[in-house]
Amino acid sequence: MQKTKFRFAMFVMVCGLAWAPNAFGDSITIFNTGESLGGTALATGLADSHYSLISAPTGVPLTALTTTPNGAWTPNTATADWIGTVNGGALSSAVGTYDYQTTFNLTRDIPSTASLSGLWTSDNQGCIFLNGTSTGDCTGGAAFGSLQAFSITSGFISGVNTLDFVIVNGGGPTGVIAEFSTATVSSSSNPPPVSSVVPEPSTLVLVGTSLLGLCGGLRNKLIRR
C-alpha cells in the first residue's frame, strides 16, 4: 500500500513538471471612453478620469469630457460615452488635432501575448496609436455614424503602455468613442529566475521526451497494480 502511494505521488510530481503551464491567463485593466469604475457609462458633462486630453489646438482646455452625442453620431452605449472638449455634440470645437490618451500596465505580463479589440469611431478622422506607433486602425472623415472594429495584437511593452486616440477635427463638433470587447494577456504568477546558462534545444527535447516517457511508465505500473 505504501509503495502504491509513493508511486502515485511520483506520477503526479513528474507529470506535473512535464505538462504544467508556465503562464496564466489574465485581463488587461483598461476602460472604455466615458466608463465608470462600476462598468457603466458615466453621466454626460463629467471629466473622464481614465482618459487625458494630452494635446489640442491652442486655447482648448485639456480636459476630456463625456458628452451628449451629435445627432449624426452613433449613440452612447450602456458602457461607453463619447468624449470631447465640450458637453454637447452640437457645439463646435477648434480645427486641429486632439490626442486622447489612456494607459494600462503589463508589468509581470508577457507583452507578446497581449490583445486589445473592440469598436470605436470619431469625428472627424482618427487613428489609434500604441506606445507612439500607429496601429493602422483609422476612421474615415465621416465615419461617426457607426462603430467600426479595431484589433491590436502587437506593439505592447512590459510595464506602462500608452494608447492614444488621435483625432483631426476639420471643423464643427469633434469627439471619440471606444468600447473594448477583448483585453487579455498571459502572465506568470511567479516567474522563475533566468538562468545564465541556456540549454541546447536538443537537450530540452531530450528532457521533455524523458519526462513524458517516465510518466507513461509510471501510469502503466499504477494501472497494473
CATH number of the domain located at residue range(s) 24-186 in this protein: 2.60.120
Q: What is the pLDDT of residue 10?
A: 40
Record the pTM.
Answer: 0.75
Q: Where are the beta strands (DSSP E) in 106-209?
A: 109-123, 126-130, 133-138, 148-152, 160-169, 175-187
The identity of residue 61, as a single letter, is P
Q: What is the pLDDT of residue 24?
A: 54
Q: What is the pLDDT of residue 16?
A: 39
Q: What is the pLDDT of residue 25?
A: 66
CA-to-CA distance for 25 and 183, rounded, in angstroms? 11
Taking only the tens of pLDDT, the chain with its 225 residues reads 444 444 434 433 434 333 334 445 699 999 999 999 999 999 999 999 999 999 999 999 999 999 999 999 999 999 999 999 999 999 999 999 999 999 999 999 999 999 999 999 999 999 999 999 999 999 998 999 999 999 999 999 999 999 999 999 999 999 999 999 999 999 865 444 444 444 444 443 333 444 345 445 534 443 444
Tally of CB atoms within 10 A around 19: 10
Do the beta carbons of residue 86 and residue 69 sit within 8 Å?
no
Q: What is the pLDDT of residue 188?
A: 67
Q: What is the pLDDT of residue 201?
A: 46
